[in-house]
Amino acid sequence: MEKARVIFTQNQKFLQFIIILSGILFFLIPLVPDEKITRWKLWLLETGLFSIIILWAVHKLFYGKINLKISQLNKPVFVWFVFVVFMYLISKNKHVAELELYRVIVSMASFFLFSDLLENKQNRNTVIIFWIIGGFLAAIYGIMTHYGGFWIVITPQVDRIFSTFGNPIFFAAFLVVTIPLAVFKLMQEREPSYKVLWFFVLISFLVALYFTKTRAAWIAFIVSIVVFIFLSLDSKAKKIILIFSLLIFGFLFTLKTKNVWMRQQGHLVIWRDSLRMLFAQPVLGVGLGGFHISFPDYASDELKKIWPQTQNIVNDAHSEFVQILAETGIVGFGIFIWILFSVFHNVYQFYKRLHDREEFLIYTALFSSAIGLLVQNFFSVDMRFTISSFYLFSVFGLLSSHSTVKTKEIKLRNSEKIFIMFVLFSAAVFLEYKMVVKQYRSWKIVFESKDFLDSRIAGAALQKKELERLIASNPNDARLYFKLGYLFANEIKVNKDSANFAIENFTKAAILDPKVENGGAFNNLGNIYFTLGDRRRAKENYIKAIGINPSLIDARLNLGIAYYYEGKLKESSSEFEKVLELDPKNSTAVYMLKKMRE
């Protein structure tokens, strides 16, 4: 009996350790800076999530009974994951599709983890407190950036704040999903001094949300608070008064911020053109993560006037619902709607069983959070980015975490437990490499690399004189002209006049022997024209280089980059995919495929 009591105590302590780690993860995510391509915030999320899953699996397999929750949400979330894997396997652009696959893996993992881990009120409260405090610090920092700092703390000054989230829309999505939780803590708190503290936290969130100047988030906030009021109050009179007051406030707020509401972004035109893309491929859509690749073919002249293709890239549908339709067709959209229907039905079933006022409020707050984020994503694609998707599916998991949810006990032998842990650990290591290490490695290599225009050649003047002497006696040697052209090209960034001499010599080399340096003369001509801003001639020469040597990786990379800057993402991604067929570890291709998505 004493031994059993010790094991139970150890089990509980280990579980509490995992809960605290989960809380720390939710605390740190809003505080770690997020930058395009590097995505430090995303890396913290993925590494932390995988680590907690491993610990949770150890707890389940070796410390306690293996009870898996059987909620109504399990099936559609799992089916969505299987469908996304299928879409990835049939994708023609796997390196593009894998970014979307990774997002769904993180979403599914967070859902199943938190639906099982946070099954009692105390554990949910612990994680939510960590979540709100981290968000509060991020909100304070965001507000400071609107004013350029406070007192001795100096920050960058921005009009639309984004705090550590890299983009005002992403920060607004975080605030929308967090504000109902802060309202819950304010309503739950009985101690007056703490109540004042939670009120200050809530006001900070609201001020930060205002400074994001994100219309979709403002609408989402109003809807989520209306839902919270409608569900949490028993008095019909109070409901009517509060909702009416909120609507009046919303009307006056809209008048005050009409300059933001009048901002032209062409959303309706993008939606219309996206649906044209859907009608062309209605069943499975244009492919997983492939919106930005296919959309330029369907962009109307009306949209191009608003967003010129050579100046702007429309890489999303500005509506998660429209984007899911376009990328995965009616099949994928149907599964996603199944998930949402299950969420509503699941919450309805809970409300019939809940008698504890505190638990009722926390589930109301979580449901309002989910509604808010979904409403915002009707006008934007925040869920397309892993951070927002993580929060949504974590909320879904919390909504499925109640102890009254049915469970199924699974009995395994020790050998089977060890095998499962080995598979799970291997999968976590593999995903950590693919989603974190490989991405960072690609970014680091690209940013530290230099092309031949960036590094000076020692003794270039003497080498040019020697080459000119050799050319005088060997006027038909293409390699000599190539080397002389290279020396002149190396000086372009410090002497623009060198460009003409470089073009002259590379052209002569290509005329004498088009295959010189495996088509390198044409590739270098392309680089010079690209540097001079003549993209048409640059592309012509890259294409000639590839025609001579289809395996010339530099020319394909350069052609892909040229297409990228023209907004021709389909052609651009095609070149990068071909590069990765030739060199699966090519960092520049990996970097560019990620960049065009972000």
pLDDT tens digits for 10-63?
677 888 899 999 999 999 999 998 876 567 888 899 999 999 999 988 888 776
Residue 150: beta bridge partners? 153
- Averaged confidence pLDDT in the chain: 83
Question: Residues 432, 469: one domain?
Answer: no
Which one has a higher pLDDT value, 493 or 380?
Answer: 380
What is the band of 134 on the pLDDT scale with cuts at 50, 70, 90?
A: very high
Question: Residues 526, 564: one domain?
Answer: yes
Question: Residues 64, 156: one domain?
Answer: yes
Mark which of 412, 440, 468 sits at the end of a domain.
440
* Mean pLDDT calculated for residue range 3-11: 54
Question: Residues 69, 133: one domain?
Answer: yes
Residue 450 burial (CB count, 10 A): 7
pLDDT at 362 over 80: yes
Q: Answer yes or no: is 364 within a domain.
A: yes
Q: Answer yes or no: is 210 within a domain.
A: yes
Mark which of 407, 440, 473 sits at the end of a domain.
440
Question: Residues 472, 418: one domain?
Answer: no
Write out the two tokens for 261: 């509401």
pLDDT tens digits for 289-315?
888 888 888 878 787 777 665 555 666
Question: Residues 513, 418: one domain?
Answer: no
pLDDT at 1 over 60: no
User: Residue 374: what pLDDT?
Assistant: 95
Q: What is the CATH number of the domain that holds 565?
A: 1.25.40.10
What is the band of 479 on the pLDDT scale with cuts at 50, 70, 90?
A: confident
Amino acid at 454: D
Question: Residues 369, 486: one domain?
Answer: no
Bridge-based pairing of strands 153-154 and 407-409 is unpaired
Q: Which residues contact 325 (CB under 8 A, 6 or more apart)?
A: 274, 275, 278, 285, 332, 333
Question: Residues 158, 24: one domain?
Answer: yes
Q: Answer yes or no: is 454 within a domain.
A: no
What is the band of 451 on the pLDDT scale with cuts at 50, 70, 90?
A: low
Q: Answer yes or no: is 448 within a domain.
A: no
Question: Residues 117, 255: one domain?
Answer: yes
pLDDT at 260 over 70: no
User: Residue 475: what pLDDT?
Assistant: 81
Residue 310 burial (CB count, 10 A): 11
pLDDT at 112 over 70: yes
* Residues composing the chain: 598
Which one has a higher pLDDT value, 348 or 51?
Answer: 51
Q: Answer yes or no: is 451 within a domain.
A: no
Question: Residues 486, 543: one domain?
Answer: yes
pLDDT tens digits for 145-199?
989 888 777 888 888 999 999 889 999 999 999 999 999 999 888 888 888 999 9
Write out the two tokens for 531: 């540097």
CA neighbours closer than 13 Å in the CB half-sphere of residue 457: 19
Give φ, ψ of 106 to 5 degrees.
-65, -40
Question: Residues 104, 134: one domain?
Answer: yes
Collapsing DSSP to helix, strand or coil, 153 comes out as strand
pLDDT tens digits for 213-237?
888 899 999 999 888 888 877 777 7
User: Residue 516: what pLDDT?
Assistant: 84
User: Residue 354: what pLDDT?
Assistant: 66
Q: Answer yes or no: is 230 within a domain.
A: yes
Total domains in the chain come to 2
Write out the two tokens for 447: 């940013």
Amino acid at 281: Q
Residue of 5, 588, 154, 128 whose CA lies nearest to 401: 128
User: Residue 366: what pLDDT?
Assistant: 92
What is the band of 520 on the pLDDT scale with cuts at 50, 70, 90?
A: confident
pLDDT tens digits for 542-579?
999 999 988 888 889 999 988 888 878 888 888 888 98
Domain that holds residue 102: 2-440
Question: Residues 299, 380: one domain?
Answer: yes
Collapsing DSSP to helix, strand or coil, 496 comes out as coil
User: Residue 464: what pLDDT?
Assistant: 79
pLDDT tens digits for 269-283?
888 888 888 888 999
Q: Answer yes or no: is 422 within a domain.
A: yes
pLDDT tens digits for 531-541?
888 888 999 99
Lowest mean pLDDT among 141-145, 219-223, 334-338, 465-469: 465-469
Q: Answer yes or no: is 429 within a domain.
A: yes
Mark which of 394, 410, 440 sits at the end of a domain.
440
Stated pTM of the model:
0.83
